[in-house]
């Protein structure tokens, strides 16, 4: 669906993106992650033809964005971190204006999309009275008109309250499942990306350091956080076993195809008080922080 072919961008003397090559298949929800200034917005900009790459080309459906931008952007919708509208006009008029740059759309199609994003009661109010959540929904509405195959979402949940984040997440899932849309998502909310995407790319200082299914990076071994006493006796017993080990941060690692129940039974039989054994799930945040080289703290499920 989208292919970035060794795309680089330098602003003046500052390199923003270095030879990024990426292939995003159709029908997926793809996450683009990275720190502030990693090059995510620059990548979006080059996909949409709003930023000219220093080298390389972006393709949408094998059409070069740099050479045939208008054709490439047929069937593409996008939403930016801070969606901007003509505040003195109504939401409906804003949609009419923005969609006129694609093609004429019947009112019924606009109404259907407005209902989909849940703005039907306020669509004729001026945008200046909209809350942030309503603006995000209006932004999503304009991105969905007319029925794109690909939607680029740059921080779609930015500034939303928990209900808004929940709603946005479900809207995105519906777009992918009901309409088969390819969604490229850029977000700092790793918990959201974790729920939406299994395929991600991670940018760090303008370079891609990971591309693929992040679940592949999860630790193979299962880990557990232990609350027991006395610790020294337990540590000595665990050290003598071959089916488990203790990490420096006091996590019990069970080797694959072995059962934590066996270890717990051995500890109890040795007179050690076992108060809690809590499985530790490795999150996308932990995977991400490991990738970018930041020490992690474990999260107990």
Residues in touch with other proteins (CB under 8 A): 11, 41-42, 45, 48-52, 69-74, 76-78, 80, 82-86, 88-89, 93, 96-104, 139, 142-143
What's the Cα-to-Cα distance from 9 to each of 22, 33, 42, 56, 58, rounded to whole Å? Answer: 15, 18, 8, 9, 12
In the complex, least distance from residue 80 CB atom to other proteins, rounded to whole angstroms: 6
CB-nearer residue toward other proteins: 43 or 286? 43
Output the six-digit token pair for 92: 């409906």
Element (H, E) at 211: strand 207-213
Beta-carbon contacts of residue 156 (< 8 Å; ≥ 6 apart): 79, 136, 139, 140, 168, 172, 185, 187
In the complex, least distance from residue 189 CB atom to other proteins, rounded to whole angstroms: 21
Output the six-digit token pair for 219: 């630790």
In the complex, least distance from residue 79 CB atom to other proteins, rounded to whole angstroms: 8
CB-nearer residue toward other proteins: 81 or 192? 81
In the complex, least distance from residue 154 CB atom to other proteins, rounded to whole angstroms: 10
CB-nearer residue toward other proteins: 20 or 72? 72
Report the 10 Å Cβ neighbour count for 211: 18
Beta-carbon contacts of residue 137 (< 8 Å; ≥ 6 apart): 117, 118, 119
In the complex, least distance from residue 175 CB atom to other proteins, rounded to whole angstroms: 16
CB–CB of 271/294 below 8 Å? no
CB-nearer residue toward other proteins: 11 or 231? 11
CB-nearer residue toward other proteins: 74 or 253? 74
């Amino acid at each position: 669906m989208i292919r970035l072919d060794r795309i680089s961008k330098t602003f003046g003397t500052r390199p923003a993106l270095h030879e990024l090559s990426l292939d995003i298949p159709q029908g997926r929800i793809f996450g683009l992650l990275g720190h502030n200034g990693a090059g995510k917005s620059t990548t979006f900009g080059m996909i949409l033809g709003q930023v000219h790459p220093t080298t390389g080309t972006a393709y949408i459906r094998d059409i070069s964005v740099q050479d045939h931008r208008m054709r490439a952007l047929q069937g593409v919708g996008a939403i930016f971190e801070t969606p901007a509208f003509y505040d003195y006009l109504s939401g409906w008029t804003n949609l009419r204006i923005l969609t006129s740059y694609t093609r004429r759309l019947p009112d019924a199609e606009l109404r259907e999309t407005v209902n989909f994003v849940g703005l039907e009661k306020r669509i004729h109010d001026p945008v200046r009275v909209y809350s942030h959540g309503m603006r995000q929904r209006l932004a999503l509405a304009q991105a969905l008109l007319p029925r794109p195959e690909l939607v680029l979402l740059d921080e779609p949940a930015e500034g939303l309250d928990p209900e808004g984040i929940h709603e946005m997440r479900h809207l995105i899932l519906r777009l992918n499942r009901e309409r088969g849309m390819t969604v490229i998502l850029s977000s700092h909310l790793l918990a959201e990306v974790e729920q939406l995407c299994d395929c991600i790319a991670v940018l760090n200082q303008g370079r891609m350091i990971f591309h693929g299914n992040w679940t592949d990076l999860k630790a193979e071994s299962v880990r557990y956080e232990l609350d027991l006493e006395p610790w020294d006796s337990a540590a000595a017993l665990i050290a003598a076993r071959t089916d488990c080990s203790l990490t420096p941060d006091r996590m019990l690692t069970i080797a694959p195809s072995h059962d934590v129940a066996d270890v717990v039974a051995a500890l109890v039989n040795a007179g050690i008080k076992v108060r809690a054994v809590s499985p530790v799930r490795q999150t996308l945040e932990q995977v991400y922080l490991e990738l970018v080289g930041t020490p992690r703290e474990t999260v107990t499920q």
